[in-house]
Amino acid sequence: MTVTELVSYEDALTSYDPVMGLEVHVELGTKTKMFCGCATTLGAEPNTQTCPTCLGLPGALPVVNAVGVESAVRIGLALNCEIAEWCRFARKNYFYPDMPKNFQTSQYDEPIAFHGYLDVELADGEVFRVGIERAHMEEDTGKSTHIGGAAGRIHGASHSLLDYNRAGIPLIEIVTKPITGAGARAPEVARAYVAELRELIRSLGVSEARMEMGQLRCDVNVSLRPHGREAFGTRSETKNVNSLRSVERSVRFEIQRHAAVLGDGGTIVQETRHFHEDNGTTTSGRVKEEAEDYRYFPEPDLVPVAPERAWVEELRSELPELPLARRTRLREEWGISAHEMQSALNAGAIDLVVATIAEGADPAAARKWWLGELARRANEQATELAALPITPAQVARVAALVAEGSLNDKLARQTIEGVLAGEGGPDEVVEKRGLRIVSDEGALGQAVDDAIAGNPAIADKIRGGKVAAAGALVGAVMKATRGQADAARARQLILERLGAAE
């Protein structure tokens, strides 16, 4: 393997203009496969969800899944696409062990949806419009396990084992138009596009679109052209980039690699490449010579799909509020910046904050708890925010207890800790752990008197006008009350008793 000396990202952008094309495969969350009634349950024992159709046995006939078609139309509409009045499936012919039929049932020149766009928002709030070339229906392949090579890699494997449970699960492939004009922000645009698409797919409820589960996979095409040139350069296609971070890194890496090759007077080979999560580089995969010779032809075993206009309009009218529009609306309602909304999105907190507000919390408090304490705990446990064992209603209750003065922040955090530890709801935890703030003047007054008596030197300073020293006595009061005192009230009492004023 030849190691390419990379050109710095800045230098690459000085000389060249990047062009991208993104192909995203979304695995639909249908109960059954695209062309047969086999179950799609995740984690089933190998080869227990197959039938003659998805195994490609002789005489088997496919019938298309109605929900698969409906999902494709809804995705197309949400991407502002035109929906074909009439379209067919096609056979994409190739031999590979993961495709038992020796062809993939796909769509060729008649995709169900085409000519759309998706607006994506960058971290600073700038909106970038990504053109959508097409979205078409197809099916997934089986899963290979390579035996005998290093770390399960196909290279050096002595043989491979195939599980066809996944073969035939519906996929929607969404292809962008060439993305130009992103300049130095190309990696960020690529990431934002895949992130927005993922949100869109989830909002439609057609797939959970979890990248780590392979439910949303991205192929990243990158080419460079000298500034001012119209024609695109030769592209490389980095396959199966499976996280948002990797999408961004792979684009950045390919821009630097292409610039290095071109700068040396070399030429880019049109090929597929593999991305390596560990070091952020790509390496050469297969060269695309005749691999393109798929001899597509119309699928004779499936009749054309002709979505009725009235049905398409009905689906359009039933689309949910789309994620970017929703975030823009929520940003105004919550009074936060694009950057803050981006953090909430990245943390997977938006729906949780919305639900917490619906339970009566104010927006700032809801955001504070989910993005602060709870995000920290989710991060510690390497889990998703939504997977934490606390409900929006419980978070709203904690916020209410703080708002009414029953808890301070520290006690609220302990309450949350108790809820997460399974000790019950917030009120129960407060009760059991005795967390309610000490606001009864008698107990607090006693603690204040003790603090003054125990720290005569500090008390003198305060009497002498050094009000800032009061903090130390407040600390002593908090310590004596195990954090349950109302700190502001304690400070007030200390100053009163020592005859000092703010």
User: Closer CB to other proteins, residue 86 or residue 428?
Assistant: 86
Residue 337 exposed, middle or buried by CB count within 10 Å (0-12, 13-18, 19+): exposed
The answer to whether the beta carbons of residues 500 and 462 sit under 8 Å apart is yes
Instruction: Tell the smallest beta-carbon distance from residue 213 to other proteins (Å).
Output: 20
User: Closer CB to other proteins, residue 65 or residue 281?
Assistant: 65
Taken in order 414, 418, 421, 426, is the CA torsion positive or negative? negative
Among 64-72, 363-371, 460-468, 492-500, the segment contacting other proteins (CB under 8 A): 64-72
| CA 325 – CA 322 distance, rounded (Å) | 6
Measured N-to-C along each axis, helices 441-454 and 470-480 cross at an angle, to the nearest 10 degrees, of: 120
| CA 499 – CA 502 distance, rounded (Å) | 10
By the rule CB under 8 A, 159 interacts with other proteins: yes
User: Closer CB to other proteins, residue 36 or residue 444?
Assistant: 36
Chain-centre distance of CA 381, in angstroms?
Answer: 18
| CA 129 – CA 193 distance, rounded (Å) | 9
Which one of residues 6, 122, 123, 162 is an interface residue with other proteins (CB under 8 A)?
A: 162
Interface mask toward other proteins for 190-209; x: CB under 8 A: --------------------
Side chain identity, residue 321: E
Instruction: Tell the smallest beta-carbon distance from residue 160 to other proteins (Å).
Output: 5
The answer to whether the beta carbons of residues 394 and 374 sit under 8 Å apart is no
Which one of residues 300, 434, 442, 456 is an interface residue with other proteins (CB under 8 A)?
A: 300
Which one of residues 269, 303, 325, 364 is an interface residue with other proteins (CB under 8 A)?
A: 303
Instruction: Tell the smallest beta-carbon distance from residue 144 to other proteins (Å).
Output: 8
Which one of residues 23, 108, 117, 160 is an interface residue with other proteins (CB under 8 A)?
A: 160
Which one of residues 30, 207, 342, 394 is an interface residue with other proteins (CB under 8 A)?
A: 30
By the rule CB under 8 A, 45 interacts with other proteins: yes
Among 180-188, 304-312, 332-340, 426-434, the segment contacting other proteins (CB under 8 A): 304-312
By the rule CB under 8 A, 228 interacts with other proteins: no
Instruction: Tell the smallest beta-carbon distance from residue 85 to other proteins (Å).
Output: 10
Comparing CA positions, the residue from 274, 38, 277 lying closest to residue 163 is 38
| CA 190 – CA 141 distance, rounded (Å) | 25
The answer to whether the beta carbons of residues 91 and 104 sit under 8 Å apart is yes
Angle 361-362-367 (CA atoms, 0-180°, nearest 5)? Answer: 90
Kindly give the pairing relationship between strand 127-139 and strand 90-93.
Answer: unpaired
Instruction: Tell the smallest beta-carbon distance from residue 301 to other proteins (Å).
Output: 9
Q: Is 145 helix (H, G, I), strand (E, B) or coil?
A: strand
Taken in order 66, 72, 77, 82, is the CA torsion positive or negative? negative
User: Closer CB to other proteins, residue 21 or residue 111?
Assistant: 111
User: Closer CB to other proteins, residue 8 or residue 41?
Assistant: 41
Instruction: Tell the smallest beta-carbon distance from residue 174 to other proteins (Å).
Output: 21
By the rule CB under 8 A, 50 interacts with other proteins: yes
| CA 181 – CA 259 distance, rounded (Å) | 17
Residue 485 exposed, middle or buried by CB count within 10 Å (0-12, 13-18, 19+): buried
Comparing CA positions, the residue from 461, 484, 482 lying closest to residue 494 is 461
Cα torsion at 15, 119, 272, 255 (round to 10°)? 20
Among 65-73, 319-327, 345-353, 464-472, the segment contacting other proteins (CB under 8 A): 65-73
* Sites for other proteins among residues 236-295 (CB under 8 A): 290, 293, 295
By the rule CB under 8 A, 60 interacts with other proteins: no
Among 89-97, 253-261, 355-363, 478-486, the segment contacting other proteins (CB under 8 A): 89-97
Interface mask toward other proteins for 358-397; x: CB under 8 A: ----------------------------------------
**Which regions of 155-252 does DSSP assign to beta strands (E)?**
159-163, 170-176, 216-226, 236-241
Q: Output the CA–CA distances (angstroms, integers) from residue 474 to 414, 448, 483, 497, 502, in the order listed.
A: 20, 8, 10, 13, 14
By the rule CB under 8 A, 55 interacts with other proteins: yes
Which residue is associated with the tokens 């998703």? 384
Instruction: Tell the smallest beta-carbon distance from residue 37 to other proteins (Å).
Output: 3
| CA 44 – CA 354 distance, rounded (Å) | 35
User: Closer CB to other proteins, residue 311 or residue 471?
Assistant: 311
By the rule CB under 8 A, 81 interacts with other proteins: no
Side chain identity, residue 81: C
By the rule CB under 8 A, 346 interacts with other proteins: no
| CA 356 – CA 374 distance, rounded (Å) | 13
Instruction: Tell the smallest beta-carbon distance from residue 29 to other proteins (Å).
Output: 10
User: Closer CB to other proteins, residue 312 or residue 378?
Assistant: 312
By the rule CB under 8 A, 93 interacts with other proteins: yes
What number of chain residues touch other proteins (CB under 8 A)?
56
- Residues at the site binding other proteins, with contacts judged by CB under 8 A: 30-32, 36-39, 45-52, 55, 57, 63-69, 86, 88, 93, 95-97, 144-147, 154-164, 290, 293, 295, 298, 300, 302-307
